[in-house]
Structure 1
């Protein structure tokens, strides 16, 4: 029998040299070739400038977006060295820009701490750019070298004389790599503001020549200014922000924190300027320290009696806004998105530093100590009430012989890859949705009216609200600190409300609830917003659906404006029959749904506080600022 098995030989092995691997698989280096990866290019260049600032060599960074989406990042740091590199025989500039893992970040001699992609950043930017030009001020001269898609197109040359030092990187993202090269100003603004907070004293300017926008960031207060910014729309319970910066061994720990009248905890952690959204050892050290210190203080001064239980970490952190930043020599990142700090020694370092400074603050500020303890004690009583409410709910479920809410029309499948639950406004739309759905993998949960505003309520009150209890039971994954993603029953949670003011309000209430008490649902991409059509145009027996005024105009142009075709403006989902609802809003092949995501958690927190919090003026100001952007106004 003839053996047709293909022989596997050395010539079958593909060897990618230089920056070829980056262009072959860019997602491995910048996460994606979508907008997130596109913006990462700028962050990587800025991170190099920040590394100069951390080394004490730079205090000014200018980022410019040109009309053609090319970018200029300029700093007044020491400038990339221009001498011939002993290992490569090329200039150090060319070495850093064309070889992965080349840079001053690996032996800790040039940079004690650094952010970015740890040495691969600027070479990756070069590889993924249509062109890149480096200009270096050093030795009283201006040096320049040009590249295209990672390959040098000129030698390093002297083009002039100058005073001072610095590096300018000019690049244009490659359209062969990226789906879209249009940078988003707001995304860049959020990140550069964050970077400025984390590096006090550094001046960062973002200049967008596409629309003549410019913002400048300069915060001498560092993390203290960061907490002031986050709490701008909240009501603090003590005026003094608790702030300190200390160094232990080779790790710098910086913390700012302030308690507010709210009920949610907002703790943001960073390691070497990288947002550690999944937490890690530094967060564990902080939580351990603050729980122990507050309990010790409360017992010492008689707030907690001898036979009473300690406050839990959850009690101690209610209403807390905190920003923790650590800077260390060799950070190890773990987790699904590589944003969890794994260095085990950092836990004890942060624990020790936070304990020492927080103990001192409470002893020296008894007035603040008292309001913090009283806030925690109220949280403890509410937590106990919430526990009893949960137990009552569980017992009631057992007595009723059911674990799922009666109004839920469940689906047959259990595979998270296909299952989805629609949260529908009202019984009328719920009836249409139940009839129109594919019951194999689509579940329907109708809500009666608007759910409560969780921004203004503690968990014990929230758990007493029937519509919220129905969602918690249907999703199956718990709430708050008891949330368990592994128990989630649906891969997609789809908010489906009317396209009017009330529908928008319900959508905001639901998103606030998910953000505050089921945050991982949003973080891991399980929450979606359905987009029902705004108009139906009937041409004979054919219906055309428009999801915006522009789309309506296009349809009318296509089928003929001079004909008097009937146009129906939908106000509610209940106006559609089951077939129409399926065709337009529920059918995965034809529907439009938007994934809810949080690129900037601090900004999201501010927006939810503004829209749903107690203060009226910030909400009024927000409406005034954004009124011109409103679409589909329902009047």
Structure 2
């Protein structure tokens, strides 16, 4: 049994608001989609209930199992769903919670003071969308209760099936194949979220047993978000030893801040509200930034680093190289929009600002060397913005980026309008030659690359700029990189990566995407980066030619053809003549392009670190868990 048991969470804390008849008719309204993201959302809804128990101080361990038959089990050691008869509904509270929308303990302050899933539809929607759903409750009376459901309707009554000296809830469900065409879980995204929850709830243990792939993981972070920041700063040079950690709880609201200043050029600040990743920031981020700017400017004046009263360091310069997590927990948070991507609660800004101002000021008073290091780095960044000649790093970078004209290997287009222009980054000189001959030179530019580019995940900025291939890309684009990035300088509306449709081509695409994500992220965020899909086969019967893009397409073609035909396999883009390359991969009327997007910067950061970093066991587990997606991967 978890510590701090509180009998106030009982049947009278559950409120009934409306029915769930619409869930099966419109599942997308409740879980987002009926694809892979919707399947993950079903898991998140159940896990979040267990995390809410941890937030309330009654749960220390959560176990998630993916069974061989694709059932999901989530087990916690919280208080357990109340089993008594609800006074308003006249049915057991377990049944009420699992079959009625907006029935839960999150609407009553005595149930949960803080919760991420405030709408109360989660677990009941999961039940409605499961062909089999089983709940077991280990209750405070020492008994174990069990009930089964099918598509949201009970198939058994709540009954006692055993005894236990522990408390908690175990839920097992199988997503309904009438709703979901295919049941394929995105294991990397699920692992990322579980690790994120462990970081955000210090001391909570989350055990993940993926029996489909044989991979087991345990997520536990005694260091909480400080350990999170340390992980995010991997590969960067810190300006001080260990993250700065600030925390305060007052009544039903709390704030935690962990930050580490580094010599990197980019700012990485991620915010959360009740464990929800607020990707677009909000009032808590505004309060944090305001306090950070004020405290460090006041400190710089106090130490006479800034000598004029009206002189001030801008927030952008102060936050250069900053890696930080801001996590707030509050009652009834207000989010802007359905996605909960931005926190709108007005009161939390002043609270965060006050805590950061007071505690960071105290920290700097006790650690003057840290304060001086941060201020000096900020001053350097500020001066570099005002006059790049005064900052050696930025001068070297600018000379590397903007020295000289366009790269000699670039075959530019004749159009002077970036809105009409495309840049193809092509693997190999032979493929580049075919692309140059096959292109429409009015609006298509070709930049061939020789071999595999540098893995920037393992390289510092200086080595990156010494790499001839990457420097050619930077120069051709015209935007600069990192904090020197300026979208106004972009010379092409579409930047298209064109590589072979084999393993080596996939590796080159990954290397290039790593480079873009780490150094030119706004290009991806603004929708300028694409991947061209090249064919694997050319099937020909008489004069009829058909390009096939996968082994599955070839098998389907062979099954439907009853006459004589020949099949040619392309070993690479270099084997295609200019006409074939134009027809399949470059012609806007017939080509297949996939736009590269970023839905979650933190998740993308973790994936690139896993794939391109130095942790071999972590990369091996990632490949084992995601190998099934390679065949179906549509890029």
> TM range, normalised to the smaller chain?
0.7 to 0.9
With over 3 angstroms needed to count, the CA separation of the structure-2 counterparts of 1:226 and 1:437, relative to structure 1, is same
Counterpart position of 1:6: none
Alignment partner of 1:605: what SS?
helix
Aligned residues: 587
With over 3 angstroms needed to count, the CA separation of the structure-2 counterparts of 1:271 and 1:382, relative to structure 1, is same
Counterpart position of 1:244: 246
CA separation in 2, counterparts of 1:46 and 1:226? 20
With over 3 angstroms needed to count, the CA separation of the structure-2 counterparts of 1:21 and 1:559, relative to structure 1, is closer
How far 1:133 sits from its partner (Å)? 1.3
Alignment of 1:157-306 (within 5 A): 157-248=159-250, 250-306=252-308
CA separation in 2, counterparts of 1:39 and 1:215? 17
For structure 2, which runs of at least 5 residues remain unmatched after alignment?
1-17, 399-404
How far 1:471 sits from its partner (Å)? 3.0
Counterpart position of 2:46: 45
Counterpart position of 2:8: none
How far 1:294 sits from its partner (Å)? 1.6
CA contact (8 A) 2:146 2:160 kept: yes
Which stretch of the first structure deviates more once superposed, 623-632 or 546-555?
Answer: 623-632
Which stretch of the first structure deviates more once superposed, 526-535 or 622-631?
Answer: 622-631
With over 3 angstroms needed to count, the CA separation of the structure-2 counterparts of 1:550 and 1:130, relative to structure 1, is closer
Counterpart position of 1:7: none
CA contact (8 A) 1:536 1:569 kept: no
Q: Deviations over 1:195-221 (max 9, x none)?
A: 011111111111112122211111111
How far 1:160 sits from its partner (Å)? 2.1
CA contact (8 A) 1:233 1:610 kept: no
Q: Deviations over 1:397-433 (max 9, x none)?
A: xxx9xxxx9934659997xxxx894533389867866
Counterpart position of 2:315: 313
Q: TM-score, normalised by structure 1?
A: 0.79
How far 1:115 sits from its partner (Å)? 1.0
Counterpart position of 2:132: 131
How far 1:363 sits from its partner (Å)? 1.5
Counterpart position of 1:468: 474
Alignment of 1:62-141 (within 5 A): 62-116=63-117, 118-138=119-139, 139-141=141-143
For structure 1, which runs of at least 5 residues remain unmatched after alignment?
1-16, 394-399
CA separation in 1, counterparts of 2:529 and 2:475? 18
Counterpart position of 1:530: 532
CA separation in 1, counterparts of 2:443 and 2:118? 42
Counterpart position of 1:397: none
CA separation in 1, counterparts of 2:311 and 2:255? 31
CA separation in 2, counterparts of 1:309 and 1:90? 68
CA separation in 2, counterparts of 1:187 and 1:240? 28
CA contact (8 A) 2:145 2:158 kept: yes
How far 1:224 sits from its partner (Å)? 1.3
CA contact (8 A) 1:136 1:142 kept: yes
With over 3 angstroms needed to count, the CA separation of the structure-2 counterparts of 1:473 and 1:382, relative to structure 1, is closer
With over 3 angstroms needed to count, the CA separation of the structure-2 counterparts of 1:234 and 1:56, relative to structure 1, is same
Counterpart position of 2:12: none
CA separation in 2, counterparts of 1:158 and 1:626? 41
The root-mean-square deviation of aligned C-alpha atoms, in Å, is: 4.4
CA contact (8 A) 1:253 1:326 kept: yes
Counterpart position of 2:6: none
CA contact (8 A) 2:499 2:573 kept: no
CA contact (8 A) 1:233 1:618 kept: no
Q: Deviations over 1:68-127 (max 9, x none)?
A: 111111111111111111222221111111111111111222101101353111111111
Alignment partner of 2:107: what SS?
coil
Alignment partner of 1:23: what SS?
coil
CA contact (8 A) 1:425 1:503 kept: no
CA separation in 1, counterparts of 2:473 and 2:196? 37
Q: Deviations over 1:142-195 (max 9, x none)?
A: 112221111222222222222221111111111222242121222211110110
Counterpart position of 1:602: 602
Counterpart position of 1:327: 329
How far 1:222 sits from its partner (Å)? 0.7
